[in-house]
Chain A
């Protein structure tokens, strides 16, 4: 194994509290991935397509996992999902919807637009941390993503 590239997680979340809590959770679980935070849909798309704030970013470097919240200002989660599934460069990236909503409507729409997974953020923090741990274990270790190319 050549120098294992650090796997990047793109966290798209507008609520700063939730961001903090998520990062804390990752830290507690001793997860070593690099986490890029986008505070709304626009920023997320900027990152993914190298525009705006992230203009000039090396687009060969894509996140191994995208944690996507749904309810966000400016551009919402579903639209981000739609757009990144529409673009060749980002179509195959694993997306896990991480949201507080458990409405069937949201679940169905998310899957329809091509989400890989849907997780409702538990209010109980312990449970949240466990979920984060499981996420990491599955998507970044167990799951073979399209980016895992042996070069």
Chain B
């Protein structure tokens, strides 16, 4: 049972009992009131009987009119009183019936007496005896009525008494019952509450000390039970929160671990970068010494061989001249090779800047220089206007130089050199192209085209070191673009690139 219900009970029960008691008392007093009323009537009847007796005696003595009147009045009253009596038990009814009967008899007797007197003045003696007997009977009658009335009253009194005793007993037992119920309810209630609180308190201590293992709350139906279940629910939630907090903590530790890893990797990267920068610098000084140190003896070879050719010209036979010439040529080739290697390494080392570059203007410049170097060449060069690109001007110049020099070189044998430099749109991207009508190349060897020192043509026909296109590719890849070539033997070549 819920605590509130019990409390309600403890509050309502006394009220109920009080109401009940009040009802009983009220009823009892009603009954007493009725009894008192009845008692008054019986008293009246007794008094009436006495009055009647007195009136009868008076008449018998004085034979006046007045007692007859009095008798009538009293008799009338008695009649009324007898009617007023409320009948209860069978005994009472019998009594009242008896009284009525006797009243009737008394009435009869009195009438007989008055009649007797009214009929004749002097009364015979025999009649006197009769009258006395009559009067005696009248007295007995009236006395009986009186006694009956008294007995009636007594009966009522006893009845009311026992009723009152019963009512009092009822009240007392109810009160006792109430006391018992209330005290037992209170005691049980307090026990329940204390037990509940203690239990909850114990659980709180356990949970408060850190043990979040939930238990099922008590199954009790009442408020404390609910409290206990709510508490266990809260404990469960706490446990979940703790678990998720632990998970979170673990995740944070993991993340920290990952961060540390990342830091370490970054650190390693930084080291690598520093190392790379150092080795780049080494490379730079290396290329520098190469360029100087290789060239110097080369110059001697070249110079002296030329000089011998010149000065001892007539002292040499054709073969001697030929060999010296070869020495000379070889030296020059070596020089070009060194230059190209240097350039290639410079392209990689060069720190790129990105700006807008006018490739058309650059190409025109280069072509002008080429034309000037060979004024006899017939050439038709078409350069598209407004070819702008985003890249490093120095690198792009070298690249264009290489491409244009190639185009110029390989179309040497044509009557008219046609070189075209422009831009098209392919798959939404703008692609630059360099086309020439030179000797072209075999597409089967297109892979080798961009590799350093790989040549697809005869050295004597088309001299070169094979570095040019490798340089071009390196520059373009540094710009994040792609370069490719299409060619056909005898028809020329087209080099396309994106930036």
Q: Are B300 and A17 in contact (CB under 8 A)?
A: yes
**Contacts known (A18-B296, A21-B307, A100-B296); A123 close to B302, Cβ less than 8 A:** yes
Ordered by A's residue number, 26 sampled pairs between the chains whose C-beta atoms are within 8 Å are A15-B296, A15-B300, A17-B296, A17-B297, A18-B300, A20-B304, A21-B299, A24-B303, A28-B310, A99-B292, A100-B292, A100-B295, A100-B299, A101-B292, A102-B291, A121-B299, A123-B295, A123-B298, A123-B302, A123-B331, A123-B332, A124-B302, A124-B332, A125-B302, A126-B306, A128-B303
B296-344 interface (Cβ within 8 A of A): 296-300, 302-304, 306-307, 310, 328, 331-332, 335
**Contacts known (A123-B295, A124-B335); A17 close to B303, Cβ less than 8 A:** yes
Distance (Å) between the CB of A106 and the closest chain B CB? 9
Q: Are A21 and B288 in contact (CB under 8 A)?
A: no
Contacts of B288 in A (CB 8 A): 101, 103, 105
* Most chain A CB inside 10 Å of its own CB: which residue of B291, B298, B300, B331: B300
User: Is the CB of A71 closer than 8 A to any CB of chain B?
Assistant: yes
Contacts of A15 in B (CB 8 A): 296, 300
19 extra interface residue pairs, beta carbon distance < 8 Å, beyond A28-B310, A125-B303, A125-B306: A15-B300, A17-B296, A17-B297, A21-B303, A21-B304, A21-B307, A99-B292, A100-B295, A100-B296, A101-B288, A101-B291, A102-B291, A105-B288, A121-B299, A123-B331, A123-B335, A124-B302, A126-B306, A128-B303
Name the residue on A nearest B332 (C-beta).
A124
A22-42 interface (Cβ within 8 A of B): 24, 28
A21 to B306, CA, bound (A): 10
Kindly identify which residue among A17, A24, A101, A103 contacts B299, using a CB–CB cutoff of 8 Å: A17
Contacts of A71 in B (CB 8 A): 292
Contacts of B306 in A (CB 8 A): 125-126
A107-151 interface (Cβ within 8 A of B): 121, 123-126, 128
Q: Are B292 and A123 in contact (CB under 8 A)?
A: no
What's the tally of chain B residues with a CB closer than 8 Å to chain A? Answer: 19
Distance (Å) between the CB of B307 and the closest chain A CB? 6
Contacts of B291 in A (CB 8 A): 100-103
Distance (Å) between the CB of B198 and the closest chain A CB? 92
A101 to B299, CA, bound (A): 12
Name the residue on B nearest A121 (C-beta).
B299
Name the residue on A nearest B336 (C-beta).
A123
Chain A interface size, under 10 / 10 to 19 / 20 to 34 / 35 or more: 20 to 34
A18 to B332, CA, bound (A): 16
Name the residue on B nearest A123 (C-beta).
B335
**Contacts known (A102-B291, A103-B288); A123 close to B299, Cβ less than 8 A:** yes
Distance (Å) between the CB of B131 and the closest chain A CB? 183
Binding site for A on B (CB under 8 A): 288, 291-292, 295-300, 302-304, 306-307, 310, 328, 331-332, 335
Distance (Å) between the CB of B438 and the closest chain A CB? 26
Name the residue on A nearest B338 (C-beta).
A123
Name the residue on B nearest A120 (C-beta).
B295
Distance (Å) between the CB of A55 and the closest chain B CB? 31
* Most chain A CB inside 10 Å of its own CB: which residue of B288, B299, B307, B310: B299
Contacts of B303 in A (CB 8 A): 17, 21, 24, 125, 128
A99 to B331, CA, bound (A): 18
Contacts of A18 in B (CB 8 A): 296, 299-300
Contacts of A128 in B (CB 8 A): 299, 303
A123 to B328, CA, bound (A): 10
A138 to B298, CA, bound (A): 27
A128 to B331, CA, bound (A): 14
A15 to B299, CA, bound (A): 11
A93 to B303, CA, bound (A): 29
Name the residue on A nearest B309 (C-beta).
A125
Name the residue on B nearest A24 (C-beta).
B307
A128 to B299, CA, bound (A): 10
Kindly identify which residue among A17, A103, A121, A123 contacts B304, using a CB–CB cutoff of 8 Å: A17
Name the residue on B nearest A104 (C-beta).
B346
Contacts of A101 in B (CB 8 A): 288, 291-292
A100 to B288, CA, bound (A): 11
Distance (Å) between the CB of B495 and the closest chain A CB? 27
Distance (Å) between the CB of A46 and the closest chain B CB? 24
Contacts of A124 in B (CB 8 A): 302, 332, 335
A93 to B298, CA, bound (A): 31
A100 to B331, CA, bound (A): 15
Contacts of B310 in A (CB 8 A): 28
Distance (Å) between the CB of B398 and the closest chain A CB? 14
Name the residue on A nearest B299 (C-beta).
A123
Q: Are A21 and B292 in contact (CB under 8 A)?
A: no
A15 to B387, CA, bound (A): 48
Contacts of B332 in A (CB 8 A): 123-124
A126 to B306, CA, bound (A): 8
Contacts of A24 in B (CB 8 A): 303, 307
A83 to B288, CA, bound (A): 25
Distance (Å) between the CB of B286 and the closest chain A CB? 12
Distance (Å) between the CB of B160 and the closest chain A CB? 142
A140 to B455, CA, bound (A): 46
Distance (Å) between the CB of A29 and the closest chain B CB? 13
Contacts of B298 in A (CB 8 A): 123
A102 to B332, CA, bound (A): 17
Distance (Å) between the CB of A125 and the closest chain B CB? 4
Distance (Å) between the CB of B331 and the closest chain A CB? 7
Distance (Å) between the CB of A54 and the closest chain B CB? 26
Distance (Å) between the CB of B256 and the closest chain A CB? 47
